[in-house]
Amino acid sequence: MQGPEDDAGLAGKVALISGGGAAGDGIGNGRAAAILLARAGAKVLVADRDLKLAERTVEMIAAEGGTAAAHGGDVTSETDCKTLVEAALDRWGRLDFLDNNVGIGSRGSVVDEAPEQYRRVMQVNVETMFLLSKHAIPAMIKTARGGAIVNISSISALRPRGLTSYTTSKAAIIGLTRAMAVDHGRDNIRVNCICPGPMYTPMVYARGMSEQARAQRANASVLKTEGTGWDVGHAVKFLLSNFARYITGQVLVVDGGVTLQAPERESQEH
Ligand SMILES: NC(=O)c1ccc[n+]([C@@H]2O[C@H](COP(=O)([O-])OP(=O)(O)OC[C@H]3O[C@@H](n4cnc5c(N)ncnc54)[C@H](O)[C@@H]3O)[C@@H](O)[C@H]2O)c1
């Protein structure tokens, strides 16, 4: 017999996903979350700096009979963040969920990287989450009496491979998540964080990746398997759902066990 504990609580709710587009028909972390939330009956505002990419996500959702709308917007702009939240409220009258998914990569040590690059990575990867949450949280409180937020970090925050700015920004997201969870628990808002490992998303393969590099990535996981955007999407869906109602301020690692292995061991064995 089914009880209320079997209800994911996603149907009829409204979700905002930043960076919810992806190149072509590829499955990025944000696009996967958008599609899975829509399949569960949520209405999804797909936001992306590149409107066409967001529109493609919406087409994919509409083709399955789901409800979604695309919106252009650069979440480094506070005005755009405010506009995105208002767009969700104007369209559907409420906001329940936020998937803070936007992030960019960077390479180089503290000596190699230019200060401007460091600032840019901190702005795109951390400040965008601060700004979008700043506008989403009051809307959640007002229109839904609570909600849930997921911030997308990376295993680089837990097991750095250099990548100074990226690692620093992704570690800051864990601190931001915990602070927000403490501050907004009383508002009935849960805030969690996901650390994806090496996922095969358009961001990764658009730069070009050899079969050998793919195999190496798969081998880095204890499951000897490559992750995809769907793996992150499912984790987002779970953390936003009622099934995670007693989980807040946590870091969920989605990496096939990559962080369980020391990098040295990897290079000895392969
Ligand atoms: N792919 C991986 O292996 C991996 C691993 C760990 C963490 N992550 C994180 O997952 C998240 C999504 O990764 P992905 O690989 O799906 O990404 P992606 O590069 O495909 O990005 C998704 C979308 O974000 C949009 N975007 C970028 N900057 C924006 C901005 N300022 N405002 C609005 N939209 C913007 C892009 O246009 C793109 O469509 C990122 O935070 C990334 O750091 C990815």
pLDDT of the residue at 206: 82
Asked if residue 74 has its Cβ within 6 Å of ligand 1, the reply is yes
Q: Under a CB-based contact definition with an 8 Å cutoff, are residues 19 and 48 in contact?
A: yes
Q: In the prediction, which pLDDT does 61 show?
A: 98
Q: Probe ligand 1: pick from 75, 77, 81, 102, max atoms within 8 Å of CB? A: 102
51: its two tokens: 């409107």
Cβ(26) to ligand 1 under 6 A? no
Q: Residue 83: its pLDDT value, please?
A: 98
Ligand 1 nearest-atom number relative to CA 105: 43
Domains of the chain: 10-259 (3.40.50.720)
Determine the Cα–Cα distance for residues 85 and 149; give it in Å rounded to an integer.
13
2 CA from centroid of ligand 1 (Å): 37
Q: Three-class SS of residue 122?
A: helix
Q: Which of 29, 36, 153, 216 has most ligand 1 atoms within 8 Å of its beta carbon, as the pocket-test mutant?
A: 29
> Rounded to an integer, what distance in angstroms lies between the CA atom of residue 150 and that of residue 167?
18
Task: Measure Cα distances from 183 to 42, 180, 186, 187, 249 in Å.
Answer: 26, 5, 7, 8, 10
The predicted structure's pLDDT at residue 161: 87
| Count of beta carbons in the 10 Å neighbourhood of residue 255 | 23
Q: Which residues of the chain have pLDDT under 70?
A: 263-270
Q: In whole angstroms, what is the distance from residue 55 CA to residue 67 CA?
A: 12
pLDDT score at 104: 95
Ligand 1 binding pocket includes 20 (Cβ within 6 Å): no
φ/ψ region of 234 (left if φ > 0, alpha if ψ in -120 to 50, else beta) reads alpha
70 CA to middle of ligand 1, Å? 16
Pocket flag, ligand 1, residue 19 (CB < 6 Å): yes
Active-site residue (options: 118, 166, 200, 246): 166
Atom 7 (ligand 1): residue with closest C-alpha? Answer: 154
Is there a contact between 123 and 168 (Cβ–Cβ < 8 Å)? no
Whether 166 is catalytic: yes
Q: For the whole model, what pTM was predicted?
A: 0.96
Report the pLDDT value the prediction gives residue 263, as an integer from 0 to 100: 65
Q: How far is the CA of 266 from the centre of ligand 1 (A)?
A: 27
Q: Distance from the CA of 22 to the center of ligand 1, in angstroms?
A: 8
How many A from CA of 104 to the centre of ligand 1?
Answer: 6
Structural contact between residues 31 and 57, judged by C-beta atoms closer than 8 angstroms: yes
If one counts every other C-beta atom within 10 angstroms of the C-beta of residue 259, the result is 16
